[in-house]
Structure 1
Amino acid sequence: MHGSRRKLKVVLMTIMTAFVFIIVEISRSTSQNKNGHKIRIPTKPFWAKLTPNDAFWNRQQQKLDHLNNPILNGPNGSFGGVLPDWLNDTVVQDLCEPDYKVMTQVKNFSLLPDRFKDFLLYMRCRSYRMVVDQPQICRDQPFLLLAIKSLASHFDRRQAIRESWGRAGVLANKTIVTVFLLGKATAVDHFPDLSPMLEYESSMHRDILQWDYRDSFFNLTAKEVLFLEWFSTRCPNASYIFKGDDDVFVNTLLIINFLKGLSPAKSQGLFVGDVITNAGPHRDKKVKYYIPENIFVGRYPPYAGGGGYLYSGVVAHKLFGIINRVPLYPIDDVYTGMCLRKLGLAPEKHKGFRTFGIEEKYRNNPCAYKSLMLVHPRSPQDIIKIWAWLKDPALNCQ
């Protein structure tokens, strides 16, 4: 009798142990995914009502994010097609006419410097009439497209580039095409009328691209957008693009050799330059890159310094496809970083890009430039001199 009770107790204990083990295993399996990683259960609501940001640019980005969200704006969208007042802009007008509504939408608009007022009034405009085009310049598919930001008055800089690192044609058995990107030098900025000289230059070299907009520092972002649009229609098969300023020295031969050595996978997603990380807007009004808090708040994404960067044609097409989902920002290289982030991409830092120059003691050493892809800034005379150094067959840097 006692033996049977003992057996029953053992059986019950075994069953209880097995039950506890099963419960534990079920609990573990439900808190892990198939890769064995623990699943974190959210502690906060997944969706919260969107409230407008006080900074104007951030608020514009909120609008675009909402309007381009297929879940929120599909047939079963959460707002049923009815948008909150601050998201709904029903006024139909020419996007390139001054948008005077911003005067009431931007806090303390009247206290902003004139360059900000001008930028904000025309911020929505992304399409300007093209004054000078080169529709056949990419008829021979270029391996490398050099797109150089310039001002109408910078004749000497453009000519120095043509006579050195930006010479169009064939280099190291690769086709190179060079274009200079210009807006209009306006009387508002006290420029003399240079149009006859520019027309002559364009007829001589056939490498000028010009749009009918005010060529100012804040409008460099518009130049970026307009170039991507031009690229998508006039030069869509370029394998790679170098985009930079007209006061940089570029070791074009080194860039070509670098590109030749890339794997197919690496070349497709290429975007390299002198990358700046953990940066944010300058709040000092004396700084060229000053951005007030009523315009933008937050940190900048990683971005390549606008002196010059190198990227693939594949990435260029992706950038063109995303630019309408990112509001124009007054600083063009930061804007490009914002677009890359929207694509889920990030620029890669390359030690050969020196957008902040090199040490004084190396500036007159020809060998210092042999392993660098870009040095900024350099005068037209420096550009020609450095190119001559590197082309000299007697140069020995061992």
Structure 2
Amino acid sequence: MAGLRRKLKVLLMFMMVNLFIFIVSRSGGPDKSEESKVLVPSKRFWSKLTPSQAFWNLQQQRLDFQGNPVLAYAYNNDSGNVDAIGPIPDWLNGTGPNSDPCQPDYSVTSHVADYNSLPVRLKDFLLYMRCRSYPLVVDQPDICRRTPGGESPYLLIAVKSLASHFDRRQAIRESWGRAGVLANKTVVTVFLLGNSTAVDHHPDLSEMLRYENARHRDILQWNYRDTFFNLTIKEVLFLDWMSTRCPGAQYIFKGDDDVFVNTLGVLDFLKGLSGSRAKDLFIGDVITNAGPHRDKKVKYFIPESLFLGVYPPYAGGGGYLFSGNLTGRLLWASRHVALYPIDDVYTGMCLRKLGLAPEKHKGFRTFGIEEKYRRNPCAYRSLLLVHSRTPQEMIQIWAWLNDTKLNCQ
């Protein structure tokens, strides 16, 4: 009898739970008549933009606004909506006094509060900050088709150099930047130069450059002032050149002319990549949580009047390796990011615009290695890049790595 009571009790509880679930589902389920309705916010979800006090941040605000159709609509909404923001303010229009962006913009002298006290290199950058197009005076239009079989290169090496650095370029040609077939992969090398002018007290080396280029046919030179703060221009111009002259390169190494690159190690690393990782590859010696130097004595000095905020993660400009698949996207991003006077930081900004971040690789040593390992051939076997090295050291290290008798067990 007691067992029957327990069974009835359990059955009753089971029926009550099911009844409760049925009632809740009927009362809480969506009304089919409302499923097709579009929910419209009762208030605007944007706030009125206010101009930044830092000049670069202000330029970026303008670019972000121009690329944001939602805000553009909000500022131009003439429908009578009381929540409409109103007409576009003058500061967002960003129309400068010169129609030609490559003419000096003297309005910056009044827009940057401490302009007169800035170093000359920063003044020059600010005056020409809007210009992104310079004549290409030395080109190699067919360099990526001069490979065996005429196929696109597997690895394109792009080296930032100065006109006077003949010895560095030659050492690279004879060592880690040697063009041709390496480890059964096609390698092409180009050197990126601007114009070393008399304004910066450089001697006229144009005749020697003409001879060098006729001999090696690997120099790209644009007619802009080749200074430290104009390295960003070199970055943008190279991406543009890549998109037309060498769009099929699978991978690109880009770095300075005073680094040593273990090209054999780079090719071995690339061989082991998975397809998904290779697509968005961007590796180097990544710096995070960094910000601008505020000390005028430092080469990288950036005043608060120019930039406010923290830098995105970026790979040190000594050298980094990325997928050719990224080239077009980086070029697009560069057109939506205001030029910044430090090139590796700027590339980090462009990656962030794409929703990407560089990947740190322990084989990139842009700050060098310990002194006790500098003369140890085996120390370079596991590294991909070391900074900095003289032309003689480049040739010596390359000979070590290619010595079949080298035993690093």
Normalization by structure 1: what TM-score?
0.89
Question: Is 1:99–2:142 an aligned residue pair?
Answer: no
| Residue aligning to 2:173 | 162
In 2, the alpha carbon distance for the partners of 1:112 and 1:245 equals: 27
Secondary structure, aligned partner of 1:389: helix
**Residue 394 (structure 2) aligned to one of 363, 383, 386:** 383
| Residue aligning to 1:111 | 117
Stretch moving more, 148-157 or 105-114: 105-114
What is the RMSD of the two structures over their aligned residues, measured on CA atoms?
2.4
Change (3 A) 1:108 1:26: farther
Question: Is 1:129–2:135 an aligned residue pair?
Answer: yes
In 2, the alpha carbon distance for the partners of 1:70 and 1:226 equals: 28
Cα shift readout 1:178-211 (whole Å, capped 9, x = no counterpart): 0000000100110000000000000000000000
**Residue 120 (structure 1) aligned to one of 123, 126, 130:** 126
Cα shift readout 1:110-148 (whole Å, capped 9, x = no counterpart): 111111110000000000000100000001310000000
In 1, the alpha carbon distance for the partners of 2:359 and 2:45 equals: 32
| CA deviation after TM superposition for structure 1 residue 372, in Å | 0.2
Letter in 2 for 1:260: K
Letter in 1 for 2:67: N
Cα shift readout 1:197-253 (whole Å, capped 9, x = no counterpart): 000000000000000000000000000000000000000000000000000000001
Secondary structure, aligned partner of 2:110: helix
| Residue aligning to 1:89 | 94
| Residue aligning to 1:293 | 304
In 1, the alpha carbon distance for the partners of 2:44 and 2:355 equals: 25
Secondary structure, aligned partner of 2:269: helix
Stretch moving more, 280-289 or 294-303: 280-289
| CA deviation after TM superposition for structure 1 residue 88, in Å | 1.5
| CA deviation after TM superposition for structure 1 residue 83, in Å | 1.8
Cα shift readout 1:139-196 (whole Å, capped 9, x = no counterpart): 1310000000000000000000000010000001100000000000100110000000
Letter in 2 for 1:203: A
**Residue 189 (structure 1) aligned to one of 193, 196, 200:** 200
- What does 1:65-76 correspond to in 2, within 5 Å? 65-73=64-72, 76=73
Secondary structure, aligned partner of 2:243: helix
**Residue 78 (structure 1) aligned to one of 41, 57, 75:** 75
| CA deviation after TM superposition for structure 1 residue 22, in Å | 4.1
Letter in 1 for 2:209: L
In 1, the alpha carbon distance for the partners of 2:66 and 2:88 equals: 9
| Residue aligning to 1:63 | 62
| Residue aligning to 1:36 | none
In 2, the alpha carbon distance for the partners of 1:22 and 1:61 equals: 52
- What does 1:27-38 correspond to in 2, within 5 Å? none
| Residue aligning to 1:152 | 163
In 2, the alpha carbon distance for the partners of 1:116 and 1:220 equals: 13
| CA deviation after TM superposition for structure 1 residue 80, in Å | 3.9
Change (3 A) 1:174 1:103: same
Letter in 2 for 1:130: L
Secondary structure, aligned partner of 2:351: helix
In 2, the alpha carbon distance for the partners of 1:22 and 1:57 equals: 56
Total equivalences in the alignment: 370
| Residue aligning to 1:373 | 384
Change (3 A) 1:26 1:357: farther
Question: Is 1:138–2:149 an aligned residue pair?
Answer: no
| Residue aligning to 2:230 | 219
- What does 1:251-266 correspond to in 2, within 5 Å? 251-266=262-277
Change (3 A) 1:249 1:77: same
| CA deviation after TM superposition for structure 1 residue 78, in Å | 3.2
| Residue aligning to 1:303 | 314
In 1, the alpha carbon distance for the partners of 2:109 and 2:75 equals: 31
Secondary structure, aligned partner of 1:325: coil
Cα shift readout 1:296-352 (whole Å, capped 9, x = no counterpart): 010000000000000001111110111110000000000000000000000000000
In 1, the alpha carbon distance for the partners of 2:28 and 2:221 equals: 67
In 1, the alpha carbon distance for the partners of 2:177 and 2:137 equals: 23
Letter in 1 for 2:94: D
Letter in 2 for 1:78: Y
In 1, the alpha carbon distance for the partners of 2:366 and 2:332 equals: 27
In 2, the alpha carbon distance for the partners of 1:178 and 1:157 equals: 14
Secondary structure, aligned partner of 1:53: coil
| Residue aligning to 1:236 | 247
- What does 1:173-212 correspond to in 2, within 5 Å? 173-212=184-223
In 2, the alpha carbon distance for the partners of 1:207 and 1:308 equals: 19
Secondary structure, aligned partner of 1:182: strand
Cα shift readout 1:37-73 (whole Å, capped 9, x = no counterpart): xxxxx9x973111000000000100000001112223
Q: Percent identity, aligned pairs only?
A: 69
Change (3 A) 1:114 1:92: closer
Question: Is 1:329–2:334 an aligned residue pair?
Answer: no
In 2, the alpha carbon distance for the partners of 1:89 and 1:368 equals: 52
Normalization by structure 2: what TM-score?
0.86
In 1, the alpha carbon distance for the partners of 2:77 and 2:172 equals: 56
In 2, the alpha carbon distance for the partners of 1:315 and 1:286 equals: 36
| Residue aligning to 2:84 | none
Letter in 1 for 2:325: V
Secondary structure, aligned partner of 2:144: coil
| CA deviation after TM superposition for structure 1 residue 106, in Å | 1.1
Letter in 2 for 1:89: G
Task: Give structure 1 stretches of 5+ with no counterpart.
Answer: 1-13, 30-41
Letter in 1 for 2:116: S
